[in-house]
Structures are given as C-alpha cells and as structure tokens.
C-alpha cells in the first residue's frame, strides 16, 4: 500500500509507477531526509505528539537507515516511488507500526523541499571551499608570473604587452565575483520549509523555530504555500554553477589554444591529459575541452529548470520532481572541474621564453 493510496480502489499501472518514480535519482537525498526526519521527530516529541520512548526508537531506526545507506546496504525498488517512502518503509520494517508515525504533521511536499535545501546547502558549502582554493591557485600563479611578458589580445590579435601574471589575475577576478554570488545564494536559502506540510501547515502544534534551529537554519520560511513551491534557490544555485562553468570554459579555451603546437605557450602534465588511440604522438587537453563542453550542459540545466517552473501555479506540482537531476548534475560537475583544474594549473609548465 502506497502512502497516498487511501482513496484508490486498485493499484496503479506498472508503467505509471515507472514514470512516476524518482527513487533512482533522489536516493541521494536520503541522508538529508533522515536528518530532517530526526528533527521532525524531536519536534513531535516537544509537542507531545510522540512520547520520549517513541521518539528515541524512531531516531535510532532513522540513524540505522542512514548508516546502512553510507555502507551501501540499502536496496530500493521502483515501487518505493521516492526516497521519502523508501525511508518510511525501511523504518516500519525496523520498528513496526510506530514507523508510520514519523509522517505525522508533515507532507512529502515539505519533506522534499527541506531535504533538497539541506542537500544544496551542504554541497554548495563544499563548492565554496573548492572555489576559494581555485582562486588561491590563480592568485599564486599571478604572483609567480608577475614579470613574465606576454601579448595581451583583443579579437585574438596581439594588442598590448601584459604579463602572464596579469592574465591569471583577470581570471581570478571572475571567480571572486562567482564566490560573492555563491555566498549571497547560501545566505538567501538559509530558511527551513519543514512544518509547511502540503501547503497550509498542519493542525499539530509544531514549533517551526525549533525544527529550523535543530537543522541549522537561520529561521523558518515565512509562507507555507511559497515554501513548498519555491525552487528559486535551485535556480540561483544552477545560475552560479553555470557562471562558474562558463568562466572555466573561457579559461579552457585559452589553455587549449596555448597548448597547441602553433602557440607552444604551455605543456600540461600527463596526469591531466589524454592520448589518441591511433596517433601515439598526441597529447590532448581533454580536461579543458570537457570543461568547455560541460558548460553547455550547465546552461541547459538552468534553462530546463526555469522553463519547468515558469508555468506552475501555487503550490506544489509534480513538475518539481524534475528539478533534482539538473541540480545534482551541475553541482557535481562544477565541483569536480574545480578539483581537477587546481592541480592541472599547478603542474602545468609555461614556456615563458616563448
């Protein structure tokens, strides 16, 4: 029996289940949904909806599910539909009928809004650290090559003499602006939607400030309808990832040109290059080329999300299920690119005489 099956007399078609399910990708939200569920259980206990013993049993069960997930021991099925129903099924298997009480006073609408926001904040904090390290790398290179003369270009034509350090500093400024935007994005999403329920709250006397505090949010969201419908923070996140990706694409374009035999300005380390299956003399700047290509995918992810949300009425709509794959993809690829670019630049050899 599905969580929502109350009014239905027959089971849904198997292809409906496949089309409707998000478990194959939103499984990544499991640690964050568990964290939010533990906070919700604590709030239910504070409201005397759960006893201390019940809340302790539920929290231990939830922690065990997260532990099993981290150890790769969780098995899921299309019939689970999404990560929220998976957790409730596993919890009920562990603690019996008490497991169903975890859903008291909440909806999957505010569940997914909270879990996705927790995921985004966590991943963006790590992206922030990576971006800071990348800016530091560019700063070190700008100082290292402070006096090495090169041709500054407009229209890809030699225009004025500059230094290689000045060139590095120009890119550093782009990523500093990205860092500032990322900081503002993190600040604006620091509000907790849990307690909004389906769209208009719940009759249970839940302390949303307590829930927000447990989860590390600055405050609860102000309007429950907006809370379950809001995907602006995902749009902001995708925009920042896209801008970082575009800036990485710009520097990649120059690195690819500089790496060519015509220019011979730079030699990339073998660890950050690939070869040809038929021309063994070649060494290709594939990391830079992939970053240039993946920026197009990030632009597509941002466009997909904005196109999806533009016609959705208040409050929650199933369309919103389509926000996660774009979010996961852009954050993961942006982070991985920065993790690669730092050592790629640090180990690159610049032919300053040329």
What's the CA gap between 64 and 89, in Å, rounded?
13
**Antiparallel, parallel or unpaired: β 149-154 and 219-220:** unpaired
Catalytic pick from 24, 188, 260, 276?
Answer: 276
Closest CA to 203 of 228, 222, 224: 224
Q: Is 276 a catalytic residue?
A: yes
- CB-count exposure of residue 217 (10 Å: 0-12, 13-18, 19+): buried
3-state DSSP call for residue 245?
Answer: helix
- The answer to whether the Cα torsion of 317, 318, 323, 324 is positive or negative is positive
Torsion of CA 174, 175, 181, 183, to 10 degrees: -150
End-to-end CA distance of the chain: 71
Q: Is 40 a catalytic residue?
A: no
Closest CA to 170 of 247, 110, 100: 247
Catalytic pick from 155, 196, 203, 227?
Answer: 155
Residues that are catalytic: 155, 276
């Amino acid at each position: 029996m599905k969580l929502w099956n109350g009014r239905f007399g027959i089971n849904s078609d198997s292809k409906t289940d496949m089309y409707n399910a998000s478990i194959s990708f939103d499984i990544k939200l499991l640690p964050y949904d568990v964290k939010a569920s533990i906070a919700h259980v604590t709030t239910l206990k504070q409201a005397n909806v759960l006893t201390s013993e019940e809340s302790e049993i539920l929290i231990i069960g939830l922690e065990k599910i997260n532990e099993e997930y981290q150890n790769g021991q969780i098995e899921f099925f299309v019939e689970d539909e999404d990560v929220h129903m998976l957790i409730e099924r596993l919890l009920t298997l562990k603690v019996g009928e008490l497991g169903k009480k975890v859903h008291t006073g909440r909806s999957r609408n505010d569940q997914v809004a909270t879990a996705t926001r927790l995921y985004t904040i966590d991943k963006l904090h790590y992206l922030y650290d990576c971006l800071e390290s990348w800016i530091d790398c560019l700063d070190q290179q700008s100082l290292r090559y402070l006096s090495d003369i090169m041709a500054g270009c407009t229209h890809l034509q030699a225009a004025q003499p500059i230094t290689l350090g000045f060139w590095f500093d120009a890119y550093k400024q782009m990523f500093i602006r990205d860092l500032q935007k990322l900081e503002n994005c993190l600040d604006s999403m620091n509000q907790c939607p849990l307690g909004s329920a389906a769209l208009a709250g719940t009759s249970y006397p839940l302390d949303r400030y307590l829930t927000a505090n447990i989860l590390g949010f600055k405050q609860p969201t102000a309007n429950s309808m907006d809370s379950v419908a809001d995907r602006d923070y995902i749009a902001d996140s995708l925009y920042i990832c896209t801008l970082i990706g575009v800036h990485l694409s710009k520097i990649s374009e120059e690195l690819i040109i500089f790496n060519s035999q015509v220019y011979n300005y730079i030699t990339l380390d073998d660890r950050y290059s690939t070869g040809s299956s038929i021309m063994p003399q070649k060494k290709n700047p594939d990391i830079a080329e992939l970053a240039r290509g993946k920026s197009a995918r990030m632009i597509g992810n941002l466009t997909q999300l904005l196109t999806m949300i533009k016609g959705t009425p208040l409050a929650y709509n199933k369309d919103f299920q389509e926000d996660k794959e774009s979010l996961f993809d852009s954050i993961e690829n942006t982070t991985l690119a920065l993790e690669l670019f730092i050592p790629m630049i640090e180990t690159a050899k610049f032919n300053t005489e040329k």
